Structure 1
């Protein structure tokens, strides 16, 4: 098949690109000279303070005798410890994600009446405009569901009679609608792609209003609409853990930046989706799963810790997997001793692995989680501790739930839309200045050439 003009890199483009490379590089020493906080983080990895938030808090250290001392990681939603929030959910069935979304949006835990009101609104808005699936999702389906999701979100602007109204009631209405339809946009986009590109049967199941978000995701994804209570519970917990993570993560900060310009909700959320798509952010759990697939082929005895350690050393030495020199799922920009979300994920991964007959694989994950920090500590100079992060377990959990890899990051988005919505509303309520950080120009002034 002939290459499309829209994807062809001509020799002329290659020549022009070489000019970009030659003239675009900045001397790394200049970043030190001007004390540039690259990545908005200082040399110790601490984030530069750019705003205030009342929505969530990440704790990775404590102050002892005036010094920052690393501690077990903690995550708080509106002041509540995430571990307490998860623990408060019923063991058999819960609207954990819905409770979490309510808490993030409105600042307080819902009463039963308030939860019923909120879930009824989610059910009311959990529908797409007439012919939206046919006219938008089925047309030119993309192999990347995040692009499909972003395109669908931007298109929703055209179906909104008040898309540019940024009053709190209207933005809240838009956000609740997006929280409700993100699972539909994600799963339907995947179904369209696998049908038109892979030749699979096409089925578009309708959600049921009485089901939770996690139950509806599993229902509309599977051909038989079936799922077990444990499957729904574990996915519900995963959505809770991914719903929010402070104002400084890349996609949430993007939400603040774009919202500060006064633009519409759909543009702000589409920008956040573009951020989350990046493999350094939302796509990390896919790398973990693929790394473990390679590990399972290379390591013959999953219980042999010496053999596992040798493989991990090969990863760091760029001799295994993608030869990037990384052990994926290890380390975090903020946490050092532990990621609280990973600790919760670990517990639920164990129970699900037993139901799915994958306890041996769970054992391998646990050994890697214990051995990798030691290997990294011996091979690399690090300024803070290293531990398993939430991506280390989420990919494994999603694989046990038979979620296709194409939906891993969109499922992340189905959770994080709750946090993005809360932060967008917070930015609008506090009506700050447009966010505009400084960049220092380092090119010397030149005289324009004369003939």
Structure 2
């Protein structure tokens, strides 16, 4: 970091502090079992601790036996009772954009009538532009090399443009939510264009929102210099947005949103907290690791048409002879889903044709082989016996690459898909739970230290 008028901290100074920290800070994680601590709010079998109730979304990947054991099953993701698989099937068969319908469903609790849907779409369209002077002051004047960072700061800055920012009534929170749902894609595109100009020394271009476009069309039209996109591209992005729209109340970003909402803070702070959680590489950046793993396999000459070739490579990754040294096959396995991740199935089954059409067929084939062979390799090399399926990250990255969306925008696109879910969970938290979320931490540090003369 550069602070022209501030003397930077020297490496020697930082080494002293860091050495002191390492010497004086340690927690023996074996004590978790002694005190019954649920690390990461997870049960011993990896499932989440039950922390609340919700009627918005349910991710199902297993059942419980009479003895409490986990019984694997095909994954289901329900939005207000409707299966994601069925919603996406409806979108494909009727050839229409349905992400906005999913937003309405999550926010209100029911599928909209035709009149309600048209009204809601018009509300989104009417609120895509940012307030006068906002882009110049908050985005152009303060660029960031990280788009998620800039989006978070922009959401927080919207507080200053809202005369009723602290009003927690349903009417006001829903109004704020619709505004943010509409404006976040615009914030993302503007932040990305400024990034390209400042950090990559490229030309930047800004397009005003076009009346009547779906969110998927709006993103592609404003992101691309010529505003050109095909119907097939926009439909694929629409499906991806539907898949990312929500994932229950316990995922990290939504739980952060609920925790912050439970203390009665404003909408902008709550959504900024969710964005901050999603920014982490273990969550919003997971599909980037999938794509870098894929690129290494392709560069190394692994043949996606040969089971033997792919298995050798995957076993090399597990043995830390290839990949990033983590020993992980990215895109495989999930904390909830066992036999299948319904989101991965939707993206896998609907991206093949466009992948081949736009020159990404071999990459797509490699991902299919990873999905097929990774569980076998994990069993043979690591002794993993539990079911391991492909998760959404295995296929979302290739979908974004097919659409010409670069890695820097993977998490931001995830965010513009998820913000409707965040807003729905915030409204539910405010309306029904009415209790500050406050888990406990067991103190295991020193006691009864005496102050001595120095």
Q: TM-score range by the shorter chain?
A: over 0.9
1:58 is paired with a residue whose SS is strand
Distance 1:86 1:258 in 2: 32
Find out whether 1:53 has 2:54 as its counterpart. yes
CA contact (8 A) 2:288 2:410 kept: yes
Return the alpha-carbon distance in structure 2 between the equivalents of residues 438 and 90 of structure 1.
46
2:408 equivalent in structure 1: 406
CA distance in 2, matches of 1:323, 1:140: 36
> In the alignment, what sits opposite 1:147?
149
- What residue number does 1:10 align with? 11
The superposition leaves residues 129-161 of structure 1 with CA deviations (integer Å, 9 ceiling, x where unpaired) of: 112111111123111110010010011111111
- Aligned partner of 2:389 in structure 1 is 387
**Cα RMSD (Å):** 1.7
Correspondence 1:268 to 2:277? no
Corresponding residue to 2:294 among 277, 292, 295:
292
What is the Cα deviation at residue 359 of structure 1? Answer: 1.9
The answer as to whether partners of 1:255 and 1:268 remain within 8 angstroms in 2 is yes
**Alpha-carbon shift at residue 240 of structure 1 (Å):** 0.3
**Partner in structure 2 of residue 237 of structure 1:** 239
Instruction: State the shift of 1:6 in Å.
Output: 8.2
Contact 1:73/1:336 (<8 A) preserved: yes
Tell me how far 1:346 sits from its aligned partner: 0.4
Once structures 1 and 2 are overlaid, which stretch shifts more, 119-128 or 357-366? 357-366
Following superposition, the deviation at residue 445 of structure 1 comes to: 1.4
CA contact (8 A) 1:187 1:220 kept: yes
Q: Does structure 1 retain, via aligned residues, the 8 Å contact 2:302–2:310?
A: no
Match of 2:378 in 1: 376
Structure 1 equivalent of residue 32 of structure 2: 31
What does residue range 66-77 of structure 1 map to in structure 2 within 5 Å?
68-77=70-79
Per-residue CA shift, 1:38-82, capped at 9, x if unaligned?
011111011111100000111111345565411011110001111
CA separation of 1:321/1:138 partners in 2, compared to 1, >3 Å: closer, same or farther? same
Structure 1 residues 428 and 9, CA, compared in 2 at 3 Å: closer, same or farther? Answer: farther
Q: How many residues align?
A: 451
Partner of 1:72: helix, strand, or coil? Answer: strand
Q: For residue 342 of structure 2, what is the aligned residue in structure 1?
A: 340
Quote the Cα distance in structure 1 between the aligned partners of 2:432 and 2:8: 43
Displacement of 1:196 in angstroms is 1.4
Q: Is 1:356 matched with 2:349?
A: no
Return the alpha-carbon distance in structure 2 between the equivalents of residues 265 and 419 of structure 1.
13
Name the CA distance, whole Å, in 2 between partners of 1:86 and 1:6.
55
Deviation at 1:450, TM superposition (A): 3.5
Distance 1:449 1:383, change over 3 A: farther
- Once residues 244 and 65 of structure 2 are traced to their aligned partners in structure 1, the CA distance between those partners, rounded to angstroms, is 30
> How far off is 1:14 after superposition?
1.8
Determine helix, strand or coil for the equivalent of 1:224: coil
**Is the contact made by 1:92 and 1:233 (CA closer than 8 Å) also made in structure 2?**
no
Task: Give structure 1 regions of 4+ aligned residues with deviation exceeding 6 angstroms.
Answer: 1-4
Separation in structure 1 between the aligned mates of residue 24 and residue 36 of structure 2, nearest angstrom? 23
- 1 CA distance for matches of 2:29 and 2:357? 52
- Conserved 8 A contact 2:42-2:48: yes
Cα distance in 2 for residues equivalent to 1:299 and 1:368: 15
SS of the equivalent of 1:333 reads: coil
The 1:437–1:382 alpha-carbon spacing in structure 2 relative to 1, beyond 3 Å, is: farther
The Cα shift of 1:333 comes to 1.3
In structure 1, list runs of 5 or more residues that go unmatched: none
Tell me by how many angstroms 1:431 deviates: 4.1
Distance 1:310 1:181, change over 3 A: same
Q: Distance in 1 between matches of 2:7 and 2:418?
A: 32
Greater mean deviation of Cα atoms: 195-204 or 82-91? 82-91
d(CA) in 1 for partners of 2:123 and 2:39? Answer: 42
Report if the CA contact (8 A) 2:352-2:361 is conserved. yes
Q: How far apart, CA to CA, are the structure 1 residues paired with 2:247 and 2:126?
A: 28
Asked if structure 1 preserves the Cα contact closer than 8 Å seen for 2:97 and 2:235, the reply is no
Alpha-carbon contact 2:332-2:388 (below 8 Å) kept: yes
SS for the counterpart of 1:28 is: coil
The alpha carbon displacement at 1:444 in A equals 3.5
- Secondary structure at the counterpart of residue 61 of structure 1: strand
- Please identify, of 241-250 and 31-40, the stretch whose mean Cα deviation from structure 2 is larger: 31-40
TM-score of the superposed pair, with normalisation by structure 1 = 0.96
- Name the structure 2 match of 1:94: 96
Q: CA separation in 1, counterparts of 2:146 and 2:243?
A: 24
Structure 2 distance, partners of 1:261, 1:380, is 44
- Aligned to 1:50, the other structure's residue is in SS state coil
Which of 411-420 and 293-302 deviates more? Answer: 293-302
SS for the counterpart of 2:435 is coil
Shift of the alpha carbon at 1:231? 0.2
Tell me the equivalent position of 1:450.
Answer: 452
For 2:137 and 2:118, locate their aligned partners in 1 and report how far apart those are by CA, in whole Å: 33
